[in-house]
Structure 1
Amino acid sequence: MNVVQPIRDPYVIEGIKSYLKIRSMRNYLFFCFGIYSGLRVSDLRKLRVWMVKGTHINIEEQKNRHQKRFIIHPKIRDDLDKFISGKRDDEFLFASRQVKTKSQLRGLPIDRSTAYKMLNEAASQFNLREIGCHTMRKTWGYHLYLQNPHNLALLMEMFGHSDQTITLRYIGITQTMMDAQIVML
């Protein structure tokens, strides 16, 4: 399995947001939800319009069945409201534009591979490597930790980790520290 990294540079994050917003409001909001909530791609995919009409998202995580509550970041509220305007409450927020070949079903959530392609296409525009579906989640954790290292216990809880070293490695802090030490030699 390939190791993916967080996006460490805040300017690159803003650049990716602009890049995606110009091309697809759905993909822009998907990325923003990922970097502002720390939700897994599997949980982002199952969001429905009714779930984002308030100030918070209440969701049961698919992987471990934990109940989570996240605030919808105020920076994306206006764009989100425009995006969901006219959509039915039961529609998937991040619906695929494709019709399934065998079943002829429409409006299903985007596939994980679609999210991966979208992230990698945007990342390639900014010369980023080691990007994958967990990049958004790791980016959220990385920047939360940098804001205040005391957030480590919160991150451990959010990620379901039992050890600090697992969380630090997951969000790329260990790699950042190793890189910094090598440069100092």
Structure 2
Amino acid sequence: MQQVVLPIKDSNVLKEVQDTLLNNFKAGQRNYTIFQVDKATLLRVSDVMRLRWADVFNENGTVRQNTFIHDKKTGKTNLLYLKPVQTDLLAYQAWLQENHLASKWLFPSIQHLDRHITEKQFYKIISKAGDLLGINYLGTHTIRKTGTYRVHTQAHHNIDLVMHLLNHSSEAMALTYLGLYQANQEIMLDQIDFG
């Protein structure tokens, strides 16, 4: 049976997940920062894992305001706005320095600094956080869906912004991703008298 992966809609649950990622794992600062970057950039986790240090940080150690990547799945160019996670990235940079973890990868494997953490490894971390909190809908895609949900609700349901950030080519695609297409259909169908 395939797991149903949903966004975290409740801010208190979101805080619990973030605290669990930060405080219940050996590489908690890395795990937390992956979560924050993924949530703020709305990237697929595969693209977050592939970020290099130089994609995010300038040579002087400051966080870039923007960076370009190519989506692994679609091949489309994607411009990332990093200002929302600047504080998290700087705290993460300090943690890496304190622990003498230098790599070309933004999110290296702690055991193999020449490689980035894999999607499978991070899925296990997210799944464990879900187990610790008794949440059965957490997966790596939860993060992107959570960021998307927060943008949609806090930007006054601006579906054009959501489409652009997700790199989706249609409104229907973005609504389906948010889980709103089916909900909107059901609301409309509830108004029909089928006799």
Instruction: Specify if TM > 0.5.
Output: yes
Aligned partners of 1:41, 1:114: CA distance in 2, in Å?
11
- State yes or no: 1:34 paired with 2:42: no
How does 1:99-118 map onto structure 2 within 5 Å? 99=112, 106-118=113-125
Identity of aligned residues (%): 27
Paired residue type of 2:17: I
Q: Map Cα deviations across residues 133-177 of structure 1 (whole Å, 9 max, x no partner).
A: 211111110110011244211212232334333322312345777
Paired residue type of 1:74: Q
SS at match of 1:57: strand
Q: Map Cα deviations across residues 7-66 of structure 1 (whole Å, 9 max, x no partner).
A: 111111122112222231111111111111111111111111122212333212111122
Give 1:107 deviation, angstroms: 2.4
Runs of 4+ aligned structure 1 residues displaced above 6 Å come to 175-180
Unpaired segments ≥5 residues, structure 1: 100-105, 181-185
Aligned partners of 1:8, 1:19: CA distance in 2, in Å?
17
Cα RMSD, aligned residues only? 2.7
Aligned partners of 1:35, 1:128: CA distance in 2, in Å?
18
- State yes or no: 1:164 paired with 2:171: yes
Unpaired segments ≥5 residues, structure 2: 58-63, 188-195
Segment drifting more, 129-138 vs 39-48: 129-138
Asked if the contact 1:33–1:44 (Cα under 8 Å) also holds between the matched residues in 2, the reply is: yes
Q: Map Cα deviations across residues 81-112 of structure 1 (whole Å, 9 max, x no partner).
A: 31343655x6211111235xxxxxx5211111
Paired residue type of 2:86: P
Give 1:121 deviation, angstroms: 1.1
How does 1:15-54 map onto structure 2 within 5 Å? 15-22=16-23, 23=25, 24-53=28-57, 54=64
Aligned partners of 2:185, 2:140: CA distance in 1, in Å?
24
Asked if the contact 2:33–2:89 (Cα under 8 Å) also holds between the matched residues in 1, the reply is: no
When Rg is computed on C-alpha atoms for both structures, the one with the higher figure is 2
Q: TM-score, normalised by structure 1?
A: 0.80
Asked if the contact 1:91–1:107 (Cα under 8 Å) also holds between the matched residues in 2, the reply is: yes
Aligned length: 174
1:79/1:173 Cα in 2 relative to 1: closer, same or farther (>3 Å)? Answer: farther
In structure 1, the residue matched to 2:10 is: 9
How does 1:24-173 map onto structure 2 within 5 Å? 24-53=28-57, 54-72=64-82, 73-85=85-97, 88=102, 91-99=104-112, 106-173=113-180
